[in-house]
C-alpha cells in the first residue's frame, strides 16, 4: 500500500467491490474504521472529526510514507460536500456512513445528449406522483454507471422555467427502469455510459434541497468535480515517458540531444510552457495560502493544462512516427499502444469538465469582466 | 523566497507604480521623442529615482546602494514598463552596477558605485556587435602593447551608449580569452553615433580605433569574467523581462478596457465571443509570464542552481507574450490603434526593442534547450 498504485488497483468499493490486490481491501477497512477515508467529516457520519490542520498533517504523513489513497469515490469527492451542506439529517445519516466505508458506489447523472455545455437545458423529467417522483429520460457520459449502486441526478421538475425548474435527486441504480450502456470511445473502451430511465420511481425523501432549487446545488458540485479532475490527473503515470525523454529516444542525435532541429524546437517550446505552467500552479497555491484574493490564475488551469496535454501527445506522435499509430497486437510494445490510445483519449480532456471554449468564456466574464 | 512579495517589496511595488504614473506617464516618452531630446531621458526624474534609491538597488550598502535585490528592481522595472518610462535603469542600475560590484577592484568600486547610486554617473555595457545578441561572438580585440592594451572594434545597438559617462567594453585578448575594460566616453579613439530607434529610446553604435587602456582599466581578470558576466547578463535579461511584463499587462488592460467601451452594431465589441476568447488567451500568457519572471528574479537573488534556465524561460515567455499582446492590442483597438495619437502603438514599438535586448525568444529557447539537454 506504499507502492505506486496502478490504475487497475484503484479501489472504488460498492456493493460488489473487486480488489485486484487483496491488501487493498484490508487497507480500506482499516482506514475506514479510523474515519480516515474522510478525516474531516464529523464522526457520526463516518469521519474522524479532524480539523483542517490535523487533516493536513495526516495527508503529509501519508505522502511522506507514500501511502496509497484507500478509496476512490465520487460520493466523497462530489456528492458529500453538497449533501453536508444541503441534505437533511436523515439523508446524511443514510448516505454518508456507507460512502465513508466505501460500501456504496455513486455515479453522476448530469449531461444529456441535448444538454452538455448547456447543462441547464436538461430534459430528464421527474413527474410528481404523490409520494414518489417518476423519472423518464436519458443521461450520457455517466462515468461507471454500470458499476454504480446509487446515482445523484439532475432532473427537470418544472418545464416552464429553465434554470429554476431543476431538482437534485438521489436514487438506487437497481431501481426498476434503470438501464446502462457503456460507451466505446475513439480510444477504445471507456468508463462512460449512457443511462436510460423508464418510469423510475424515486421516493420524495430522496430530493436534496428544495424542489426546483437544484441548479445551485448542481453548480456547487461542479466546482468539487473540477477540483477532483485536477487531482486525478496527477496520479496517473504508466508506460509513457516524459516528452523530452521520448523525443531523445526516438530522434537520438549524436550529441545525446534531440536529433531533429524542428522537433527539438517544438519540444523545447512545449517543455518551457509546461515549466511556466507548473510555476503558475505553485504561485496560485502560495497566493491562496497567503490569503491573497485570487487573481483568476486558477480559472486558466483547466483550459491550459488540457490543451498542453493534447499538444504533448501530438508532439509525441511526431517524434515516434508510425510506431505511435498501432491499435493492437504484438508488433507494438505496450508503451507504444498506450501512447496511441492516450493521444486519442486526450482529445476528450478539452471537452469534458467544461469545454475549453466554455473555460475561455468563464475567464472573459469572471476575470476580465467582459460583457455578455 | 516565494512568489508572494514581502511587505517591503510590496511597498516598493506600490510606490513605484504611483511614481511612474505621476512623473513619467506615457506622455513623457512622447515628449522626449517629439522634442528630439538630446539625452533621451529626463535628468530630473532620474535624480528623483536615485534619491529613492532605485539607481542603487543592486549596489552594496557600503557603496551607497540599498542592496534590495533583483526582485525589488524587477518591481520598479515592471512599473516603469507600464508607462514606457525612459531612464538609465536598464543600462546603469540593472546591468553596469552589479557587474562593477562583482568584478571591480576596490578603487573601481569606490570610484563608480557611489556615483551610480547617486544618479550622477551613467555606465553602459558595450557587448554586442551586431543586430542580434551574441555574447559569444566578440570580435573587438584588446592587444597588449608597451604595457598597455590597444582596443579595436565596433559595438552596435548599445543601450544608453551616447549618454554613458563610462563604458564597460567586452573584448578578447590575444589568446582569445574575454576581457572587460572600463573606458570613459572621452578617451581618444572612441566614436559614438547615436541611433534613432523605433521606440524612441537611447541606443548608439560605438567605434574603438586604437583606444589605449591600461590594466588599471581592466574590470576583473582576462578569462575570469565569464561566470560573473553571464550572471549579470541573466540579471539584465530578467529585469528586461520584468519591464516587458509591465508593458504587456498595461497594453492588455487598456485593450480590455477598450473592448468594454467601444460599441459597434449597438453593443460593446467585448461582447463578441471571438474577442472574448482572444482576451482570455492573452490572460493565460500573462499569468505564465508573471510566474516565470518572479521565479527568475528570485533565482538571481537566491543564486539558485537553475537560475540560467529560469531566466531564459522568463525572457522567452515575456517575448512571446508581448509579441502576441502588442499585436492583439493594435488590432483590437481598430483604426484608432494605428494612429500615432493613440498610445497603444508605442507599446508595440517598445516591445520589439525589448525583445532584442539581451537575447530574444529564439535565443533563449535555444539556451534553455541546451541547459536541459533537449
Half-sphere exposure of B275 (CA within 13 A, CB side): 23
Distances in Å between the Cα of B103 and the Cα atoms of B93, B109, B315, B357 are: 15, 9, 25, 22
Could you say which residues from 263 to 302 on chain B have a Cβ atom under 8 Å away from some Cβ of chain A?
267-268, 270-271, 273, 275-277, 279-281, 283-284, 287-292, 294-295
Pairing of strands B123-126, B263-264: unpaired
Which of A261, A280, A305 to mutate: most B Cβ within 10 Å?
Answer: A280
Min CA distance, A172 vs chain B (Å)? 41
pLDDT 10s digit of each residue in chain B, 374 long?
699 999 999 999 999 999 999 999 999 999 999 999 999 999 999 999 999 999 999 999 999 999 999 999 999 999 999 999 999 999 999 999 999 999 999 999 999 999 999 999 999 999 999 999 999 999 999 999 888 999 999 999 999 999 999 999 999 999 999 999 999 999 999 999 999 999 999 999 999 999 999 999 999 998 899 999 999 999 999 999 999 999 999 999 999 999 999 999 999 999 999 999 999 999 999 999 999 999 999 999 999 999 999 999 999 999 999 999 999 999 999 999 999 999 999 999 999 999 999 999 999 999 999 999 99
Bridge partner list, A108 = A152
Min CA distance, B83 vs chain A (Å)? 21
- Which one of B259, B365, B369 has the shortest CB-CB distance to A370? B259
Digit-coded pLDDT (tens) for A242-272: 999 999 999 988 888 999 999 999 999 999 9
pLDDT at A252: 86
Best CA proximity match to B250, nearest among B340, B339, B343, B313: B343
Best CA proximity match to A38, nearest among A121, A111, A101: A101
- Chain A contact for B318 (CB, 8 A cutoff): no
Answer yes or no: do B4 and A269 touch at CB < 8 A. Answer: no
CB atoms inside a 10 Å sphere around CB A271: 22
Answer yes or no: do B295 and A290 touch at CB < 8 A. Answer: no
Min CA distance, A56 vs chain B (Å)? 21
Determine whether A194 is an active site residue.
no
Does residue A297 surpass a pLDDT of 80? no
CB atoms inside a 10 Å sphere around CB A97: 18
Beta strand segments in chain A, E: 106-109, 125-129, 132-139, 150-156, 166-172, 178-182, 193-203, 207-208
ipTM of the complex: 0.95
- Which one of B256, B284, B289 has the shortest CB-CB distance to A303? B284
**Chain A contact set for B283 (CB, 8 A):** 296, 300, 363, 367-368
Which of A360, A362, A365 to mutate: most B Cβ within 10 Å?
Answer: A360
Phi, psi (5° rounding) for residue A258? -65, 120
Does residue A234 surpass a pLDDT of 60? no
Count how many pairs of residues, chain A against chain B, have C-beta atoms within 8 Å: 118
Reported as a pLDDT band with limits 50, 70 and 90, residue A231 is low
Min CA distance, A265 vs chain B (Å)? 7
Answer yes or no: do A268 and B372 touch at CB < 8 A. Answer: yes
Which of B288, B304, B317, B367 to mutate: most A Cβ within 10 Å?
Answer: B288
Give residues with Cβ within 8 angstroms of A337, minimum separation 6.
A326, A327, A328
Contact A234, A87 (CB under 8 A): no
Answer yes or no: do B283 and A269 touch at CB < 8 A. Answer: no
Phi, psi (5° rounding) for residue B10? -65, -40
Best CA proximity match to A127, nearest among A167, A87, A164: A167
- Which one of A269, A280, A359 has the shortest CB-CB distance to B291? A280
**Chain A contact set for B3 (CB, 8 A):** 282-283, 286-287
pLDDT at B360: 98
Answer yes or no: do A360 and B290 touch at CB < 8 A. Answer: no
- Chain A contact for B365 (CB, 8 A cutoff): yes
Reported as a pLDDT band with limits 50, 70 and 90, residue A222 is confident
* DSSP assignment string, B230-290: HHHHHHHHHHHHHHHHHHHHHHHHHHHHHHHH-EETTEEGGGSHHHHHHHHHHHHHHHHHH
**Chain A contact set for B273 (CB, 8 A):** 361
Percent of chain B with pLDDT over 90: 98
Min CA distance, B319 vs chain A (Å)? 13
Reported as a pLDDT band with limits 50, 70 and 90, residue A233 is low
Give the DSSP H/E element, type plus range, for residue B151: strand B148-158
- Chain A contact for B257 (CB, 8 A cutoff): no
**Chain A contact set for B4 (CB, 8 A):** 286-287, 290, 292
Digit-coded pLDDT (tens) for A313-347: 999 999 999 999 999 999 999 999 999 999 999 99
| CA–CA dist B241, A64 (Å, integer) | 37
Answer yes or no: do A363 and B283 touch at CB < 8 A. Answer: yes
What is the pLDDT averaged over residues A359-369?
Answer: 95
Reported as a pLDDT band with limits 50, 70 and 90, residue A299 is confident
Half-sphere exposure of A181 (CA within 13 A, CB side): 6
- Which one of B4, B259, B372 has the shortest CB-CB distance to A287? B4
pLDDT at A82: 96
The set of cell numbers assigned to A91 is 439523508
Longest pairwise C-alpha distance within chain A: 78
Contact A370, B260 (CB under 8 A): yes
- Which one of A268, A297, A365 has the shortest CB-CB distance to B374? A268
Answer yes or no: do A268 and B369 touch at CB < 8 A. Answer: yes
- Which one of A257, A277, A282 has the shortest CB-CB distance to B373? A257
The set of cell numbers assigned to A334 is 505496450
Answer yes or no: do B256 and A370 touch at CB < 8 A. Answer: yes
Contact A301, A359 (CB under 8 A): no
Three-state DSSP state, B340: coil
| CA–CA dist B102, B120 (Å, integer) | 20
pLDDT at B18: 98
Does residue A91 surpass a pLDDT of 80? yes
Dihedral sign (CA B161, B162, B168, B174): positive
- Which one of A244, A286, A364 has the shortest CB-CB distance to B279? A364
Answer yes or no: do A368 and B289 touch at CB < 8 A. Answer: no
Rg (CA), chain A: 22
Is B303 exposed, middle or buried, given 0-12, 13-18 or 19+ CB atoms closer than 10 A?
Answer: exposed
Mean predicted lDDT score pLDDT of chain A? 94
pTM summary value: 0.93
Q: Which of A29, A220, A225, A287 is catalytic?
A: A225
Report which of residues B51 and A297 the model is more confident about: B51
* DSSP assignment string, B185-218: TTSTTEEEEE---TT----EEEEEEEEEE-GGGE
What is the pLDDT averaged over residues A220-243?
Answer: 74
Answer yes or no: do B280 and A244 touch at CB < 8 A. Answer: no
- Which one of B277, B283, B374 has the shortest CB-CB distance to A258? B374
**Chain A contact set for B313 (CB, 8 A):** 272, 275-276
Place of cell 516591445: B351
Amino acid at each position: 500500500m506504499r507502492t505506486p498504485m496502478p490504475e487497475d488497483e484503484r479501489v472504488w468499493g460498492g456493493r460488489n467491490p473487486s480488489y485486484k490486490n487483496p491488501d487493498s481491501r484490508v487497507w480500506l477497512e482499516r482506514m475506514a474504521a479510523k474515519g480516515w477515508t474522510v478525516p474531516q467529516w464529523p464522526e457520526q457520519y463516518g469521519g474522524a472529526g479532524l480539523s483542517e490542520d490535523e487533516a493536513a498533517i495526516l495527508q503529509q504523513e501519508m505522502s511522506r510514507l507514500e501511502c496509497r489513497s484507500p478509496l476512490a469515490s465520487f460520493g466523497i469527492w462530489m456528492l458529500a460536500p453538497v449533501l453536508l451542506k444541503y441534505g437533511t439529517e436523515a439523508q446524511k445519516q443514510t448516505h454518508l456512513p456507507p460512502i465513508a466505508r466505501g460500501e456504496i458506489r455513486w455515479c453522476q447523472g448530469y449531461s444529456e445528449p441535448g444538454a452538455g455545455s448547456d447543462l441547464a437545458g436538461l430534459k430528464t423529467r421527474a413527474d410528481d406522483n404523490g409520494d414518489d417522483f417518476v423519472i423518464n429520460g436519458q443521461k450520457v457520459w455517466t462515468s461507471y454507471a454500470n458499476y454504480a449502486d446509487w446515482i445523484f441526478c439532475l432532473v427537470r421538475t418544472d418545464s416552464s422555467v429553465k434554470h429554476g425548474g431543476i431538482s437534485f435527486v438521489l436514487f438506487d441504480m437497481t431501481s426498476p427502469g434503470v438501464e446502462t450502456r457503456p460507451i466505446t470511445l475513439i480510444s477504445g473502451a471507456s468508463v462512460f455510459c449512457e443511462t436510460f430511465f423508464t418510469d423510475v420511481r424515486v421516493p420524495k425523501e430522496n430530493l436534496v434541497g428544495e424542489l426546483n432549487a437544484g441548479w445551485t446545488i448542481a453548480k456547487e458540485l461542479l466546482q468539487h468535480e473540477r477540483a477532483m479532475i485536477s487531482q486525478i490527473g496527477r496520479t496517473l503515470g504508466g508506460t509513457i515517458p516524459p516528452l523530452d525523454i521520448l523525443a531523445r529516444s526516438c530522434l537520438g542525435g549524436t550529441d545525446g540531444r534531440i536529433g531533429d532541429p524542428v522537433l527539438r524546437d517544438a519540444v523545447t517550446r512545449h517543455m518551457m510552457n509546461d515549466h511556466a505552467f507548473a510555476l503558475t500552479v505553485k504561485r496560485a497555491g502560495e497566493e491562496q495560502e497567503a490569503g491573497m484574493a485570487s487573481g483568476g490564475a486558477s480559472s486558466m488551469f483547466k483550459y491550459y493544462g488540457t490543451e498542453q496535454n493534447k499538444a504533448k501527445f501530438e508532439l509525441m506522435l511526431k517524434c515516434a512516427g508510425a510506431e505511435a499509430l498501432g491499435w493492437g497486437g504484438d508488433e507494438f510494445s505496450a508503451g507504444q499502444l498506450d501512447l496511441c490510445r492516450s493521444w486519442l483519449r486526450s482529445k476528450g480532456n478539452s471537452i469534458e469538465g467544461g469545454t475549453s471554449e466554455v473555460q475561455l468564456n468563464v475567464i472573459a466574464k469572471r476575470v476580465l469582466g467582459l460583457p455578455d | 523566497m516565494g512568489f508572494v512579495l514581502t511587505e517591503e517589496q510590496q511597498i516598493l511595488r506600490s510606490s513605484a507604480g504611483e511614481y511612474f504614473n505621476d512623473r513619467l506617464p506615457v506622455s513623457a516618452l512622447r515628449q522626449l521623442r517629439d522634442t528630439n531630446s538630446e539625452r533621451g531621458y529626463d535628468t530630473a526624474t532620474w535624480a528623483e529615482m536615485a534619491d529613492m534609491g532605485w539607481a542603487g538597488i543592486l549596489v552594496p550598502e557600503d557603496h551607497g546602494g540599498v542592496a534590495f535585490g533583483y526582485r525589488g528592481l524587477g518591481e520598479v522595472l515592471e512599473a516603469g514598463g507600464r508607462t514606457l518610462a525612459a531612464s538609465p535603469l536598464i543600462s546603469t542600475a540593472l546591468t553596469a552596477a552589479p557587474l562593477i560590484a562583482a568584478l571591480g577592484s576596490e578603487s573601481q568600486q569606490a570610484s563608480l558605485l557611489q556615483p551610480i547610486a547617486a544618479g550622477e554617473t551613467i555606465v553602459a555595457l558595450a557587448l554586442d556587435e551586431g543586430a542580434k545578441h551574441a555574447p559569444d561572438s566578440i570580435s573587438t580585440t584588446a592587444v597588449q602593447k608597451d604595457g598597455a592594451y590597444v582596443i579595436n572594434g565596433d559595438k552596435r545597438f548599445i543601450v544608453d551608449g551616447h549618454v554613458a559617462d563610462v563604458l564597460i567594453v567586452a573584448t578578447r585578448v590575444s589568446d582569445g580569452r574575454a576581457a572587460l575594460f572600463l573606458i570613459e566616453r572621452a578617451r581618444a579613439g572612441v566614436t559614438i553615433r547615436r541611433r534613432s530607434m523605433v521606440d524612441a529610446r537611447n541606443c548608439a553604435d560605438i567605434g574603438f580605433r586604437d583606444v589605449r587602456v591600461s590594466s588599471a582599466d581592466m574590470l576583473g581578470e582576462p578569462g575570469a569574467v565569464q561566470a560573473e558576466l553571464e550572471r549579470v547578463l541573466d540579471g539584465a535579461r530578467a529585469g528586461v523581462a520584468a519591464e516587458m511584463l509591465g508593458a504587456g499587462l498595461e497594453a492588455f488592460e487598456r485593450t480590455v478596457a477598450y473592448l468594454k467601451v467601444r460599441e459597434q452594431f449597438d453593443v460593446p465589441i467585448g461582447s463578441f465571443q471571438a474577442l472574448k476568447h482572444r482576451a482570455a488567451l492573452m490572460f493565460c500568457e500573462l499569468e505564465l509570464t508573471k510566474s516565470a519572471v518572479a521565479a527568475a528574479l528570485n533565482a538571481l537573488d537566491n543564486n539558485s542552481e537553475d537560475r540560467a534556465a529560469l531566466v531564459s524561460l522568463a525572457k522567452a515567455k515575456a517575448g512571446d507574450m508581448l509579441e502576441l499582446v502588442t499585436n492583439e492590442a493594435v488590432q483590437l483597438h481598430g483604426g484608432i490603434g494605428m494612429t500615432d495619437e493613440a498610445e497603444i502603438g508605442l507599446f508595440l514599438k517598445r516591445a520589439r526593442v525589448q525583445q532584442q535586448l539581451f537575447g530574444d525568444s529564439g535565443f533563449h529557447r535555444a539556451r534553455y534547450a541546451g541547459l536541459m539537454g533537449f
